[in-house]
Amino acid sequence: MDKILRIDMGSSGGPKCTVSDLGGYAGFGGRAMTSAIVAQEVPPLCHPLGAENKLVIAPGLLSGTIAAMSGRLSIGCKSPLTGGIKESNAGGQPAQVLARLGYAAIVIEGKPAGDDLYKILIHKDGVAITADNSLKMMLNYDLVAKMKQEFGEKICCISIGPAGEMKMNAASIACTDMEQRPTRHCGRGGVGAVMGAKGVKAIVLDDTGMPVRTPRDPEKFRDANKRFVEGLMKHPVTGQGLPTYGTNVLTNIMSEAGGYPTFNFQQGSFDGASKISGETLAELEKKRGANPTHGCHRGCVIRCSGTYNDKNGNFLTKQPEYETVWSHGGNCGIDDLDAIAMLDFLDDNIGVDTIEMGATIGVAMEAGIAKFGDAEAAIAMVKEVGQGTYLGRILGGGAAVAGKVFGVERVPVVKGQAMPAYDPRAVKGIGVTYATSPMGADHTAGYAVTANILKVGGYVDPLKSDGQIELSRDLQIATAAVDSTGMCIFIAFAILDQPETFQSLLDMLSACHGVSITADGVVDLGKNVLSMERDFNARAGFTKDHDRLPRFFSTEKLAPHQVTFDVKDEDLDRVFNW
């Protein structure tokens, strides 16, 4: 993993590849790599869909090794949704495979002159880039099937659906899972639109003939990984909660805590929560012969994923994540798991972010385009996104654009990106993260739900403003570092609570790279990543005034706790004072 592949899509004679060593980017992986390249090479005021933007795809520092949980792939660019820097990561196979192929990053640059659509094959013998207009407007599942037919069963894919080709702000980039299903998405920030603007439909990876990455100190590495896995297995969240119920275990918890945004953030708990909860979902999956415990990539031991079968017992989609169940469920007043699963499938197939889509439909419902609770209308809306009808185009533009188009005041976005499944008024730590993350509203950027709700890594009362700044700061720093390792963020539960598990991660990193990485080093890495990102955003025109929630969170009380978001502006401005 010591080279960078650059593909210039705008080269006059057609796309052109060059391979270089890491140069100044040595030591970076995942989010650190994507953010470093974007911050250094992309003009902050360029148009996100223009030739000057770059799409950077990077496996993490540990990806491609035998390290458990190391399968996250980071994709970065200037975001068409937020106008700022973006890193969006996903599970699935591509991070492992790309790392084994030896690439620390793929950088897609330029913009083709015509409207040809390209596929890129990367394997042990090199790179082949081919125009293939038969792929135009192909859905992700069909596309992957076609790529398998063409390139064999051992491939994995990074691809866009019609939404990306239409350059929609909500467009995602799909990564295939172990069963070669395009179910794991770099969802946030419209990264799929940037891939579409580059004219790239699919990147097909085949690591046949390439060995597992060898750490510098294999024995120490193997030992550290063993302790790491043991740590994950013994923590109740990663060892039991997530495998059994998946992330959707949170539906009941959040609704009971009064922080479950319902009817486009009008109230904090949902009457239909139990109908769509993780417990109900797991039962249904069992009944229909689906798999409730499944890993999305080789080496996953938490296995929070699963599969969802339709009424006839046939695979419909992956087990929908909590945030998806929320966005298409309670946020739109929908309490029907089959409808939510269908929406999840459509989103994956069309290639849009499930969080942004659900939030956008919520805004459309507030505008009166459909009634809250109308699942059929929601399904029809997402289908329109895939067809690129005018309504579909509006919705594919994301919640902020839909709010502008429909003249809606209550639009739950920060920096143009929709808020996920936690109301910032009743989970104030996550509100601080939403407000201040360089990514726009993003729960994964500093998941304060841990200490606010789950009492992991300590406890900070979610309804009070005390302590939220420090909580969000520490988590944002830790997350920026973890996102650079290729590790799934869910390892945080165990490493926050168990010092020995955190140490095993440090030992793995040290053994892998033949250096001595300490806790302080990890903190420094996280701070470095955040600083690069914030610097890019500052040069793109962002100020502290963009580190704010929409005003209605300060003025409208949220039931049942009757709380507003009251963290002071001057405190928000302290988050990055370290």
CB 289 to its own copies: min, Å: 41
Q: Which residue has the tokens 């942004």?
A: 356
Tell whether residue 527 is a contact of its own copies (CB under 8 A).
Answer: no
What residues contact 457, with CB distance under 8 A and at least 6 apart?
450, 451, 492, 496, 497
- Strands of 153-224 (E only): list them: 156-159, 173-175, 184-186, 200-205
What is the token pair recorded at 61?
């520092």
What residues contact 26, with CB distance under 8 A and at least 6 apart?
none
Site string for its own copies, 464-503 (x = CB under 8 A): ----------------------------------------
CB 48 to its own copies: min, Å: 9
Site string for its own copies, 168-197 (x = CB under 8 A): xx-----------------------x--xx
CA pair distance 226, 223, nearest whole angstrom: 5
Tell whether residue 393 is a contact of its own copies (CB under 8 A).
Answer: yes
Tell whether residue 440 is a contact of its own copies (CB under 8 A).
Answer: no
CA pair distance 181, 92, nearest whole angstrom: 9
Q: One-letter amino acid identity for 34?
A: T
CB 195 to its own copies: min, Å: 12
Nearer to its own copies, 52 or 571 (CB): 52
Which residue intervals of 208-336 are DSSP H helices?
Answer: 218-234, 236, 242-245, 250-257, 278-287, 322-328
Site string for its own copies, 151-170 (x = CB under 8 A): ---------------xxxx-
CA pair distance 353, 361, nearest whole angstrom: 12
Tell whether residue 401 is a contact of its own copies (CB under 8 A).
Answer: yes
Residue among 36, 210, 38 at smallest CA distance from 125: 210
CA pair distance 548, 550, nearest whole angstrom: 7
CB 412 to its own copies: min, Å: 12
Do the beta carbons of residue 63 and residue 71 sit within 8 Å? yes
CB 370 to its own copies: min, Å: 13
Could you give the 3-state DSSP secondary structure of residue 535?
helix
CA pair distance 9, 495, nearest whole angstrom: 41
Q: How many residues bind to its own copies according to rule CB under 8 A?
A: 42
CB 311 to its own copies: min, Å: 33
Do the beta carbons of residue 159 and residue 203 sit within 8 Å? yes
CB 501 to its own copies: min, Å: 41
Tell whether residue 409 is a contact of its own copies (CB under 8 A).
Answer: yes
CB 402 to its own copies: min, Å: 9
Tell whether residue 407 is a contact of its own copies (CB under 8 A).
Answer: yes
What residues contact 507, with CB distance under 8 A and at least 6 apart?
220, 223, 224, 227
Using the rule CB under 8 A, which residue among 284, 370, 391, 523 binds its own copies? 391
CA pair distance 74, 191, nearest whole angstrom: 11
Using the rule CB under 8 A, which residue among 15, 30, 80, 333 binds its own copies? 80
Residue among 20, 71, 81, 67 at smallest CA distance from 359: 81
Tell whether residue 43 is a contact of its own copies (CB under 8 A).
Answer: yes
Q: Could you give the C-alpha distances from 354 to 139, 174, 326, 340, 547, in angstroms and in order?
A: 16, 12, 10, 10, 24
Given the rule CB under 8 A, which of 41-49, 123-131, 138-146, 442-450 is the region that contacts its own copies?
A: 41-49
CA pair distance 506, 502, nearest whole angstrom: 6
Nearer to its own copies, 44 or 76 (CB): 44
Tell whether residue 540 is a contact of its own copies (CB under 8 A).
Answer: yes
Tell whether residue 394 is a contact of its own copies (CB under 8 A).
Answer: yes
Tell whether residue 405 is a contact of its own copies (CB under 8 A).
Answer: yes
Residues 541-570 that bind its own copies (CB under 8 A): 541-543, 545-546, 548, 550-552
Using the rule CB under 8 A, which residue among 149, 390, 570, 577 binds its own copies? 390
Compute CA 78 distance to the chain's CA centroid, rounded to the nearest angstrom.
Answer: 15
Using the rule CB under 8 A, which residue among 16, 22, 27, 46 binds its own copies? 46
Q: Could you list the residues that contact its own copies (CB under 8 A)?
A: 43-47, 49-50, 52, 80, 166-169, 193, 196-197, 389-391, 393-394, 396-397, 401, 404-409, 411, 539-543, 545-546, 548, 550-552
